Amino acid sequence: MTTIFGKILKGEIPCTKVYEDDLVFAFDDIMPGAPVHVLIIPKVELANLNDVDENHEKWLGRLLLAARKVAEIKGIAKSGYRCVMNNGEDAGQSVFHMHLHVLGGRGLSWPPG
């Protein structure tokens, strides 16, 4: 895994871990866009949703289950949180290792941008 997220998974770059299981890893974003901003990444190399097929179903489902757990851990499950996955440059994806943003801790406006 050659992206910065792959290096985080390998322990080559430090991070503040929030949650981990056999399929996904979650850590605090170093440039948060909200008081709570956690990134959840699959432990498999996928650039974004354009790379997935039916064989990746367990990772995709686990990303969303992990989002719920992260929200509980961070204390935002009851007040509300947003899950965002950017796919491609025009969507704002800057690291091409699939990741889910979990944002909360304040009111979030809509549309997002």
Tens of pLDDT along 26-43? 999 999 999 999 999 999
Tokens standing for 84?
Answer: 């965002």
**How many residues appear in the chain?**
113
Average pLDDT over residues 11-17: 96
pTM for the full model? Answer: 0.95
* Residue 100 amino acid letter: L
* Selection from 109, 98, 88, 91 nearest residue 33 by Cα: 109
Catalytic residue among 37, 56, 97, 99: 99
Instruction: Tell how far CA 6 is from the center of its chain.
Output: 13
Average pLDDT over residues 83-108: 95
φ and ψ at residue 89, rounded to 5 degrees: -60, -45
* Selection from 101, 46, 95 nearest residue 112 by Cα: 101
Q: Is the pLDDT of residue 108 over 70?
A: yes
Strand 81-84 vs strand 24-28: parallel, antiparallel, or unpaired? unpaired
Each residue's pLDDT tens digit, 58-87: 999 999 999 999 999 999 999 999 999 999
* Selection from 98, 31, 34 nearest residue 62 by Cα: 98
List, in order of start, the domains of the chain with CATH numbers.
Answer: 4-104 (3.30.428.10)
Does the annotation mark 101 as catalytic?
no
